[in-house]
Amino acid sequence: MIMQIALSAVLLLVLPVGAQNEKVQQVVRLPTGFATEMVLVPAGSFPRGAEGEAFDEQPVRQIHLDAYLIDKYEVTVAQWGEYQRVTGDVLAEWVLQNTVKRQNHPITLVTWDNATAFCQWADKRLPTEAEWERAARCDDGRKYPWGDGLDSYRANYFQSDDPFERGFGAILSTNPVGFFDGSDRDGYQTRDGSSPFGTYDMVGNVFEWTNDWYNPSYYTHGPDTNPQGPEKGVVKSVRGGSYAIDASHVRPTYRARDAPNFKGPDIGFRCAASVQAGTAVQLRSWGMVKRAPQTLQGENGHE
């Protein structure tokens, strides 16, 4: 059963003006005890899509989403190793990825079914397209997680001249998750590439599977509240661009798609989780919640 994660004491569902630049994050453990970090995206609305871009990113509409949690980072090689050790679901390309230096890189060469199976094992799920996009862009219509201009010091994409294609690391490679956090990385000064909600690598690094079937006209006829994607389809939506994709296609609104059984060296995923209803306390600021974080309790007692 997909976990309905609840704040044990406090969850803010209505934010004061300007409060969404503050972040609430929690540790959610895998069944093996391995700690992962998730961030809370409170209930609210955002302008989904982008005018003047590809036709399937239009029309721009206000979409309302209930509160949910989403992984702060893409699922890593180390996390997949935990899953694989317990379930025996071994990737054919595991030996290529399971190196000492790549433990904190995103797992790749996973199909949609692989990603779904991992999320279910972790008592999580794949995010919907709408959940993924809101976590990347926040609610103010920005083009990128950090603002309106693409910045090669905040993301890893093709010809971004970052260490992962300049020779400091492997040529044309993924970066460790959260690499672009504003710190100095052995002489390479990064800038913070996180979204206002606190998610990293939503632009570049690897494409990410979402739960939705892809339909180019879904933005026209889909619902405005908690859209779950079409009921059926042929290909699944993948979002975010990758280290191998040019600058014009690494915007968060870009809707790529692949067959569910496809696996690629630049496709990974992150998980999401629903938040139980009935946990809202209105008269607290986002900052108060951040300064007094509460433990997240799942159905299996995960923190």
Residue 159 is given by DSSP the state: T
Helix (H) or strand (E) holding 286: helix 286-291
Percent of the chain topping pLDDT 70: 81
Is 38 among the domain residues?
A: yes
**262 has pLDDT over 80:** yes
Q: Find the domain containing 108 and state its range.
A: 4-297
Digit-coded pLDDT (tens) for 83-132: 999 999 999 999 999 999 999 999 999 999 999 999 999 999 999 999 99
Q: Copy the structure tokens of residue 244.
A: 């191998």
User: Measured between alpha carbons, how far is residue 66 from residues 90, 115, 227, 277 in Å?
Assistant: 35, 23, 10, 9
Number of folded domains that form the chain: 1
Going by pLDDT thresholds of 50, 70 and 90, the confidence category of residue 23 is low
Rounded CA separation 250/36 (Å): 25
Q: Choose the weakest-confidence range: 36-40, 42-46, 128-132, 170-174.
A: 170-174
Is 50 among the domain residues?
A: yes
Strands (DSSP E) along the chain, which ranges? 4-7, 25-29, 35-41, 44-48, 61-65, 68-71, 184-185, 188-189, 207-213, 236-239, 255-258, 267-268, 272-275, 296-297
Is 254 among the domain residues?
A: yes
Is 174 among the domain residues?
A: yes
Is 92 among the domain residues?
A: yes
pTM of the predicted structure, to 2 decimals = 0.85
CA-nearest of 69, 3, 9, 7 to 38 is 69
Q: State the CATH number of the domain containing residue 174.
A: 3.90.1580.10
Is 228 among the domain residues?
A: yes
Average pLDDT score over residue span 254-260: 98
Is 303 among the domain residues?
A: no
Is 302 among the domain residues?
A: no
Going by pLDDT thresholds of 50, 70 and 90, the confidence category of residue 35 is very high
Decide which of 282 and 164 is more confident.
164
Going by pLDDT thresholds of 50, 70 and 90, the confidence category of residue 25 is confident
- CA max distance for the chain: 52
Average pLDDT score over residue span 210-217: 98
Residue 154 is given by DSSP the state: S
Percent of the chain topping pLDDT 90: 77
Which pLDDT value is given to residue 265?
A: 95
Peptide bond into 216 cis (omega under 30): no
281 near 12, Cβ under 8 Å?
Answer: yes
